[in-house]
Amino acid sequence: MASVPEHVLMNEALIEDLQKVAKDTALLHGVLMRTKETPNSSEVVSYAPFTLFPSPVPRSLFEQARQVQTHFNLLVDRISQDAEFLEQALASTIKVDDFTARLFNIYRQVIQEGCSQPIVLGLNRSDYMLDLGKDGNTSLKQIEINTIAASFGGITSRTPDVHRHILKVAGRVEEQKKILDNNPAAGFAEAIAKAWELYSSERAVVMFLVEDVQQNIYDHRFVENELWSRDGKEVAIVYFRNGYMPQNYTEQGWEARLMMERSRAVKCPDISTHLAGTKKVQQELSQPGVLERFFPDDPKAVAQIRATFAGLYSLDMGEEGDRTVAMAIANPDHFVLKPQREGGGNNIYGEDICQVLDSVKENLERSAYILMDKIRPQPVRNYLLRSGSPLKLSTCLSELGMFGAYVRQGKGMVLNECTGHLLRTKSAEHSDGGVAAGVAVLDNPLLI
């Protein structure tokens, strides 16, 4: 049974008025996306989809996610420097997953040639859901960490003021105080500017590598504009907002990726950091003793990271993988099957898990996936505002993300911060999919 926050228990006339105010307020504050009909034109835009009200999030779990983010930044960076670990972790995956294999081939080549640039820039986002246990207690469980094209750090910086205004109009003034300021774009820009400063060439530029279809252009523009407001100069970074899916690449595209990796430019992410964010690496990190490899002298950091892990299981060939297959087929509703893909909408649920595993359980193809315990968050009720969709009260599930930024030069960490947060909410009828996929909408945590 979904709990119903007090702020949604309002009469229909007020809700109708509030949604009109909300849409106008979103437009006023720049919570914008281009339309699907004209994704490369700013002549016609609409509001980015968002919730009418902020969704409740326990303050203690929010703080847990915020505080562990700098540890995750360090973990990703240390994985990216550990060639032996990456080779071992991805050995089975690259035999059956062509996309990961091609990324790994680029990685091997640049490792053999030697590091062309000692400056490393990381902009990532660690995503969580709040798991309601059988004991009635809620815990923070990580879904994944995004080390390439961590999106919505720009637009989400403008949504707190939108929800504050909605609550004010609704007469919920005290609840305004429970919405935090949030500007991930500023933190990302700070890290990019620091990497440019270390690069030491005023003639160099930042290149935003983006998709051909640019419906989400304003999310990029917020970061770009924060950069201009800091120095107004040309900068020296390759910032990937694209390149995480097979369809992003042609043969010429693979050649360009190799060229960029071999260049002196600071890559965000570089190829090793891209690989550090794969699902297989996530699963390997959950094994006993693996985190200690990266934090040998910091048991507190190990404990904080491990506390966020859900159950993760290998599907590699062998007895362990056989047990995972049998466990998943016996109780498919307890798990999520994950391929080595980013961008949302790729995960497999329910009886579809049985169909996929039945088709690959006897061959190496199963190594292209990992299995994860299905997280069961507490549903809430909210209105999802999306252009062209009717206004209705929906049963919703939320996903909390924490943005992280770091800059390393050689062996020295120059900057390591949690730069902000992202809350995305979707109707409980959808198993998977993000904002760009047209399923989730932007939200803000109402800390309780």
Rounded CA gap, 269 and 251, in Å?
20
Alpha-carbon distance values, 292 to 146, 300, 305 (Å): 22, 10, 11
- The answer to whether residue 338 is catalytic is yes
Q: Which of 304, 296, 255, 7 is nearest to 126 (CA)?
A: 304
- Find tokens 């929800």 and name the residue: 163
State the CATH architecture for 51-154+176-310+392-447: 3-Layer(aba) Sandwich (3.40)
Pick the CATH number of 314-374 from 3.30.1490.50, 3.65.10.10, 3.40.50.300, 3.40.50.2000: 3.30.1490.50
Q: Check 424, 426, 434, 444 and give the catalytic one.
A: 424
264 CB neighbour count, 10 Å cutoff: 11
Query: Please, what is the end-to-end C-alpha distance for the chain in angstroms?
Result: 19
pTM above 0.85, yes or no: yes
- The answer to whether residue 80 is catalytic is no
- The answer to whether residue 168 is catalytic is no
- The answer to whether residue 234 is catalytic is no
Q: How much is the pLDDT for 438?
A: 72
- The answer to whether residue 226 is catalytic is no
Q: Check 338, 366, 374, 408 and give the catalytic one.
A: 338
Q: Check 311, 343, 344, 350 and give the catalytic one.
A: 343
- The answer to whether residue 125 is catalytic is yes
Rounded CA gap, 415 and 419, in Å?
11
Q: Check 279, 280, 366, 408 and give the catalytic one.
A: 279
- The answer to whether residue 279 is catalytic is yes
pLDDT tens by residue, the chain, 448 residues: 344 555 556 688 899 999 999 999 999 999 999 988 988 888 889 999 999 999 999 999 999 999 999 999 999 999 999 999 999 999 999 999 999 999 999 999 999 999 889 999 999 999 999 999 888 899 999 999 999 999 999 999 999 999 999 999 999 999 998 999 999 999 999 999 999 999 999 888 888 988 887 888 889 888 888 877 656 544 488 999 989 999 999 999 999 999 999 998 999 999 999 999 999 999 999 999 999 999 999 999 999 999 999 999 999 999 999 999 999 999 999 999 999 887 777 899 999 999 999 999 899 999 999 999 999 998 999 999 999 899 999 999 999 999 999 999 999 999 999 999 999 999 988 777 667 667 899 999 999 9
Q: Check 190, 211, 284, 342 and give the catalytic one.
A: 342
In which region does residue 20 sit, left (phi positive, over 0), alpha (psi from -120 to 50) or beta (all else)? Answer: alpha
What is the domain partition of the chain in residue ranges?
51-154+176-310+392-447, 314-374
